[in-house]
Amino acid sequence: MDVTPRQAEFADAALRVLAREGMTSVSFRTVAAEAGMSLGAVQKAFPTKDLMLRVMFARLRATAATQSLVEPGRPTLRSWLVDLMVSVLPLDEPRRAAELQGGAFVERAAFDPGTAAAVAASDHELRGAIGRLVRRAHAEGEVPKSVDPDAAAWAVLAFMQGMASQLLYDPASEDAVRRQCRWVVDAVLRH
């Protein structure tokens, strides 16, 4: 998706509003106030709210993908997956904001086919990366061949998403979260 610098600026402002007040608070007016610009400037950048929401998701996805899809050098797959989980789970304010933002789009996806397609593409990309790494770990003898790469990727992502949701209302220490992540990864890759 081609995004102008002005659209990026407004989408980032909208994401801040979303993280602070929820998706229902995102409007042209609140985005203009957050960005310190006029309502007309926001409406000129985004002829429809739907376009603004699509650009918001593209911005959110671009920042999340940059961090999470970097392949590991030579650590074990287990340690990389645990580090990946801990790096994206809402254990501090920036990651909490990112989870609230992502969660708002997941909720919207149930009712909007365009958002559903974008969220599904993001999940497919992450599961694909995890599956490729499991296959590499098979080849290197780190993970038993009986571990199905696609099933492992589904299990890891499902756990991450579920734990992220729970941490929003029931916070835990990073050490406790890391222990839970390690237990799940060990169980998934043990088969």
Provide, rounded to the nearest whole percent, the portion of the chain with pLDDT above 90.
Answer: 87
Task: State the pLDDT at residue 62.
Answer: 83
Whether residue 51 is found in the same domain as residue 82: no
The whole-angstrom separation of Cα 105 and Cα 23 is 8
Provide the residue range defining the domain that includes 24: 1-63
Which residue has tokens 């061949």?
A: 145
Please state, rounded to an integer, the average pLDDT across all residues of the chain: 92
Whether residue 133 is found in the same domain as residue 104: yes
Q: Is the pLDDT of residue 74 over 90?
A: no
Mean per-residue pLDDT for 86-112? 93
Whether residue 138 is found in the same domain as residue 81: yes
- In this structure, are residues 76 and 140 in contact, taking their beta carbons and an 8 Å threshold? no
Whether residue 53 is found in the same domain as residue 31: yes
pLDDT band, residue 71 (cuts 50/70/90) = low
pTM higher than 0.85, yes or no? Answer: no
Mean per-residue pLDDT for 76-95? 93
Task: State the pLDDT at residue 188.
Answer: 97
Amino acid at residue number 160? M
Which of 59-73, 85-99, 116-130, 141-155 is predicted least confidently?
59-73
pLDDT band, residue 72 (cuts 50/70/90) = low
pLDDT per residue over 133-165, tens digit each? 999 999 999 999 999 999 999 999 999 999 999
Whether residue 144 is found in the same domain as residue 119: yes
Task: State the pLDDT at residue 50.
Answer: 92
What's the CATH code of the domain at 147? 1.10.357.10
Whether residue 11 is found in the same domain as residue 104: no
Whether residue 85 is found in the same domain as residue 48: no
Task: State the pLDDT at residue 64.
Answer: 73
Whether residue 85 is found in the same domain as residue 158: yes
The whole-angstrom separation of Cα 112 and Cα 117 is 9
Which residue has tokens 């989408």?
A: 11
Helix ranges (H only) for 46-148 are: 49-68, 77-88, 93-109, 113-139
Which residue has tokens 């050490």?
A: 175
Whether residue 102 is found in the same domain as residue 187: yes
Residues in the chain: 191
Task: State the pLDDT at residue 9.
Answer: 96
Whether residue 29 is found in the same domain as residue 105: no
pLDDT band, residue 1 (cuts 50/70/90) = confident
Whether residue 79 is found in the same domain as residue 114: yes
The more confident residue out of 68 and 173 is 173
Number of domains in the chain: 2
Task: State the pLDDT at residue 68.
Answer: 56
Residue at which a domain ends, from 17, 38, 63: 63
